[in-house]
Structure 1
């Protein structure tokens, strides 16, 4: 136990060091180079502490938002609620971002317990997974849901006990697997889909490599499977029903099939998330999806494992290679350019729910395969394989994190004047990574005392089968036309009628642009009230209804 605690403490020390820039102001700044997703996660953490509801009309009023089609992380919201209720949602977000890699690394060290003999090797492998290029990239993008990469190693540990060891209690192992999958459904459904896909690939590789053992284990696997499905449905039946048939869910595919495909160049080209890197060339995907760096040392280690490694090493390499190909997506990209080459990832486009996963996010499974290889290699080093040790050292060095973690401002100014109102905002709420979702923070600071007709979410409404943020409306179009182009062509009467039809009772403007303020006065019929940092305009006709 002391050794395990020391391992976890070392992961925590690394995480705190890399995120030390947020420690001086954990309530006023948020981890990440971009603010949009940080604000989105902060909103959901605050919402869970305010009311534990998976369908809410606090955004996108009156249609509302389906939490399970968004990065609502309700399980983390519950776990971090004591921090949210005492120090605030921004502090809770930062705590979650710091602890995610720590828990993920600890889970990996545990999972390798029956695979890697040396405790030191397991600790190194866990640290490599915890602070891998995959996690570092999503740290930069403020993706709280993905830095909690706990499910893959947990599934690996359970699968090893069920598929490789002699399972003495398959019902229990199956129930624990169902519990892990069910809890993940309450954290983030994409990672649930990724984990299940990884299990399927691993089981297929094991069956192909060890067919006799697979036949012998079939009765135990059936019992485990029944226990897994039953436990999963018991734990996650409700969130699963919201994903499949809940209100306000998207009615069309969310993204292009090519969105989020990994770039082949990233395999051998490190980005600025690692200490050793050059100028980062153009790559497919945003900065959060550019965490697929493996490096030459990984390829050498994989080749050695195939030629001279044992069964565990070979199975790890083959499984990791299959998942790496799938992470490249349906078509091959190099330096951001499509090469016109179709890939096996095409088949995933026809799998429900899995088709919505950005392919690059399968890189978390490739990263886990690398961690397993490193653990197995360090066991061989103890047995005298010096050359393998040099390769592992080279791998670890090239994966060392850059001291490049940043923070963004997290402004939070309450608007008590809006209590009980249905609010439109200008600037409008958007998914822009740099401040687009900031009006959500005012709603958090106000204790969710008012509803927003806008929002940053994935969903739909009666007029739009897919929304990634609230749709433009006549009021917003008029404000944009005046602020950006000085146009006065839009009709204030039509804008007012639209606001009333959607139940808006107040417009909050955090801009001092004279043309926008004049437009808002004409639409609302209100002269407006000066607030700290903005203006409030009531819609009298709406309030009288």
Structure 2
């Protein structure tokens, strides 16, 4: 899309627009008139620029997450721990599976014996492979924290690289334009929101910048050159995203196609010239994905343990319309009335759609003032993505208005109906950052009054996205028992953990952290995941069983269950294949009478228990071993 500037005039403009070729830069004259620095010098300057920006982004990210530096292996970044514990479990699973000859994309160490399909969970296998050395050295909690710190840095740097063809200025102004845009993207309200929610996969928003760069190649001047190569590279990019987070893959492909449609509507003559090359590139892309990604695609489309019904209500996953002007506490400058963000739909981790009056004004001025079709196409795609992010209907300050929106068309489409529209905000964020880059690149600096106005507006817009110092950490304790279970537990064991593992945000999934710390050294029946089993089309967390029901009952101070019920609970645990119960005192989020839970566990298991390293372990002698 970078070749679509409309800076020329008259018949020359109309002739060139048919081929969408780049034109003269109105500020600096013909490109051949500019002196070209030596190639070695250019490469050195480019490398130096990326290093400088990378260090700068890393320092900002470390500052925002500096609280975790006190104990990166004992704290988890985020306001809550459930999703963080789930991501850390999968980061641990990948190197364990590879080292032990198991399939890294399937696992029955959680949700035993049915198992899990990694591509239907937030398993981030590509990221797990990249972080595997750190996981092996310092543990999966440390690896998770490192991933949250590095994700925005890598995403921002990729946007800096992707904007190379879109920013025409050389030297300092060009680097400023791209560097500012990269920072906006890296530390946008979207990334801040998902960092505090522990959404590791969404802090690595690497696909949108890569698709922006591919759009320049695919839809640039004249017929596409080397379409088979370009298509193959596109296929590799999409395959990489498939192994990172499938939902972002679907979103990225939808909006890449939408960008092509916008261009075709704007330049009908472009279609005939570009279509043959795009068809070849598309065939190459599909061929690469089909050849190299056949197994991951099989897991998504027809693999074992995938959910057989919708895992979420698509009508409840759109963004709140008010969020575009109402920031959360993660933004430093909050012009909205105090408490307005409390009324926004969803939780803080999905309230990353803030743009604000100042940034909106800058985008509108850029569209009106800068004569660049590229900029306007990017702004159009951004506007369309913002509408799509609102979901199937308009929700305003938490209230459903009943106004339908275009995303309703996807509500019943298989697979696409699983997309959470609110997460399309990443496309909007990318487009805003790209528009800002092209504005800084081309904004009028003369006459002085216009230049001063442009600089003031730009300054206000940039300040409006300044991150607040509000990122959080939560303790991630692991009882000593789980760091060395080899003497008492092994791979043939299936362990029932109390407190029960759930999807509850506050330490609901801490049992996953304990199991991961053990190696994993044992299987667990439940967990926190997305799957199915023979009884249910969708399962998201550990089921209640009679043992857990009884434990909750006595913890709440109610009468002791009968001997008959205790016997039924023991029989159910044996039928489920449980070989041991691990009770971890002091970790139940609801508190309760743990002494009575201890006695209840003894009644059910028939074992007085062994206390070691902060954990009570009880054996069930007649449980069937893992086959």
Q: Do the two structures share a fold, i.e. TM-score over 0.5?
A: yes
2:388 corresponds to which of 307, 322, 326: 326
CA distance in 1, matches of 2:57, 2:312: 35
Aligned to 1:463: 535
Aligned to 2:249: 192
Query: 1:183, 1:235 within 8 Å by CA — same for their partners in 2?
Result: no
4+ aligned runs moved over 6 Å, structure 1: none
CA distance in 2, matches of 1:514, 1:142: 33
Shift of 1:458: 0.7
Aligned to 2:468: 402
Query: 1:377, 1:388 within 8 Å by CA — same for their partners in 2?
Result: no
Q: What do residues 352-382 of structure 1 show as CA deviations (whole Å, max 9, x unaligned)?
A: 3221111110000000010111011101236
Query: 2:187, 2:467 within 8 Å by CA — same for their partners in 1?
Result: yes
2:304 is the counterpart of 1:243: no
Shift of 1:99: 0.7
CA distance in 1, matches of 2:412, 2:262: 22
| SS of match in other structure, 1:350 | coil
Aligned to 1:305: 366
CA distance in 1, matches of 2:444, 2:136: 49
Equivalent pairs counted in the alignment come to 545
CA distance in 1, matches of 2:136, 2:529: 23
2:55 corresponds to which of 9, 32, 50: 9
2:567 is the counterpart of 1:504: no
Q: What do residues 248-270 of structure 1 show as CA deviations (whole Å, max 9, x unaligned)?
A: 11111001122321001100011
Q: What do residues 414-462 of structure 1 show as CA deviations (whole Å, max 9, x unaligned)?
A: 4312334110111100111111111112211211110000101011111
2:602 corresponds to which of 507, 511, 521: 521
Cα RMSD of the aligned pairs, angstroms, is 1.6
Aligned runs of 1:242-281 on 2, under 5 Å? 242-277=299-334, 278-279=338-339, 280-281=341-342
Aligned runs of 1:88-487 on 2, under 5 Å? 88-117=139-168, 118-166=174-222, 167-277=224-334, 278-279=338-339, 280-309=341-370, 310-381=372-443, 384=446, 386=451, 387-413=453-479, 414-415=481-482, 416=485, 417-420=488-491, 421-487=493-559
Larger deviation, residues 278-287 vs 330-339: 278-287
Q: What do residues 317-367 of structure 1 show as CA deviations (whole Å, max 9, x unaligned)?
A: 211111101100001111111111111110121333221111110000000
| SS of match in other structure, 2:229 | helix
| SS of match in other structure, 2:532 | strand
Task: Mark the runs of 5 or more structure 2 residues left unpaired by the alignment.
Answer: 1-46, 99-103, 169-173, 586-592
2:79 corresponds to which of 33, 38, 44: 33
Query: 1:412, 1:444 within 8 Å by CA — same for their partners in 2?
Result: no
TM-score (norm 2): 0.85
Larger deviation, residues 320-329 vs 439-448: 439-448
Cα distance change, pair 217–519 in 1 and its aligned pair in 2 (3 A)? same
CA distance in 1, matches of 2:363, 2:245: 31
Aligned to 2:620: 539
Shift of 1:383: 5.0
Query: 1:380, 1:388 within 8 Å by CA — same for their partners in 2?
Result: no
Q: What do residues 371-429 of structure 1 show as CA deviations (whole Å, max 9, x unaligned)?
A: 11101110123654523332221111010111111111111234312334110111100
CA distance in 2, matches of 1:381, 1:17: 31
TM-score (norm 1): 0.97
CA distance in 2, matches of 1:493, 1:516: 16
Query: 2:359, 2:464 within 8 Å by CA — same for their partners in 1?
Result: no
Larger deviation, residues 145-154 vs 157-166: 157-166
Give 1 or 2 for the bigger CA radius of gyration. Answer: 2
Cα distance change, pair 485–193 in 1 and its aligned pair in 2 (3 A)? farther
CA distance in 1, matches of 2:180, 2:116: 42
Larger deviation, residues 159-168 vs 359-368: 159-168
2:71 is the counterpart of 1:45: no
Task: Mark the runs of 5 or more structure 1 residues left unpaired by the alignment.
Answer: none
CA distance in 2, matches of 1:10, 1:235: 36
Shift of 1:544: 9.1
Q: What do residues 287-346 of structure 1 show as CA deviations (whole Å, max 9, x unaligned)?
A: 111000011123222322343332112111211111101100001111111111111110
1:68 corresponds to which of 112, 119, 124: 119
CA distance in 2, matches of 1:89, 1:181: 26
| SS of match in other structure, 1:464 | coil
Q: What do residues 471-498 of structure 1 show as CA deviations (whole Å, max 9, x unaligned)?
A: 2111111111111241434611221121
